[in-house]
């Protein structure tokens, strides 16, 4: 049985970890290198680093910071933000990333998914999808959730998988930062449509929410930020709770 993964997320802006609600009202959450070290030691299965303003500011990911974080951890490390080419990915992999996460660039140039999968292997390519419900439809957004597209979440997820993505990181913008739980109905539907792992993101507020994301949402991994950054949930305690609910995790 494949174990479920717990993934802390470092949203980076101006070199600091930040966290907001519904993608806005950001507040400082600490030094990314220190947080990365803590999570690696606490038993996180992976770490995600998202340079959240890189695309909007039309610049590349903070490579020096990526290298510094990578040197302090011994778990798989995914990096996203400002990635738009094979060359961008080569630089990040050379500086310690194990996987890359692409979002806006994949929407603007879907062939990039194919190119990265062909060059580096599907296991290296995570496609992040930010979506919110508009008139009952899950609509994909880009530029850090600022710009709605005409893409439907489920149609886009199927295309992403067909193009060679190894995982999908789905963030519900409606749930993000609310601590009201993950978007489990959408997660469950995604898991039936594609045969690649789905990472749940947006809405974690307590340990039961993680349990629900795996049981109701059928997610393969659950990602969270503020509940870990502000010590509301400790990863070791969370994993014991998941085990108590018959969810396979690595302790």
Domain coordinates in residue numbering, the chain: 5-244
- Half-sphere exposure at residue 223, Cβ-oriented, CA atoms within 13 angstroms: 26
pLDDT above 60 (res 24): no
Q: What are the Cα distances from residue 182, in Å, to 164, 200, 209, 222?
A: 26, 7, 7, 9
The contacts of residue 3 (CB under 8 Å, 6+ apart) are: 45, 248, 249, 250
Tokens in use for 187? 């997660």
| pLDDT tens per residue across span 49-85 | 988 666 555 556 678 889 999 999 999 999 998 899 9
Average pLDDT over residues 85-104: 95
Q: What is the rounded CA–CA span in Å between residue 96 and residue 63?
A: 9
Active site residues per annotation: 11, 130
**Mean pLDDT over residues 84-92, rounded?**
95
Are 55 and 104 contacting, i.e. CB atoms less than 8 angstroms apart?
A: yes
CATH of 5-244, one of 3.20.20.70, 3.40.50.300, 3.40.50.150, 3.10.580.10: 3.20.20.70
More confident residue, 210 or 59: 210
Give tens-digit pLDDT for 157-190: 999 999 999 999 999 999 988 899 999 999 999 9
């Amino acid at each position: 049985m494949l174990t479920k993964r717990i993934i802390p997320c470092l949203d980076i802006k101006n070199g600091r970890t930040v966290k907001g609600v519904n993608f806005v009202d950001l507040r400082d959450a600490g030094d990314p290198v220190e947080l990365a070290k803590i999570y690696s030691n606490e038993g996180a299965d992976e770490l995600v680093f998202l340079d959240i303003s890189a695309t909007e500011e039309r610049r590349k990911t903070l490579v020096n910071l990526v290298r510094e974080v990578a040197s302090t951890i011994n778990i798989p490390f995914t990096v996203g933000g400002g990635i738009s080419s094979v060359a961008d990915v080569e630089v990040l992999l050379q500086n310690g990333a194990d996987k890359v996460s692409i979002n806006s660039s994949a929407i603007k140039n879907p062939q990039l998914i194919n190119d990265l999968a062909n060059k580096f292997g599907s296991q290296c390519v995570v496609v992040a999808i930010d979506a919110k419900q508009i008139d009952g439809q899950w609509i994909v957004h880009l530029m850090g959730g600022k710009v709605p597209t005409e893409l439907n979440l489920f149609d886009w997820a199927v295309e992403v998988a067909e193009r060679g993505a190894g995982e999908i990181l789905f963030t519900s913008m409606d749930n993000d930062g609310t601590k009201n739980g993950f978007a489990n109905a959408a997660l469950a539907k995604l898991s039936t449509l594609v045969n690649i792992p789905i990472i749940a993101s947006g809405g974690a507020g307590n340990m039961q929410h993680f349990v629900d994301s795996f049981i109701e949402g059928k997610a393969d991994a659950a990602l969270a930020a503020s509940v870990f950054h502000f010590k509301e949930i400790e990863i070791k305690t969370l994993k014991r709770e998941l085990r108590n609910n018959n969810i396979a995790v690595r302790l």
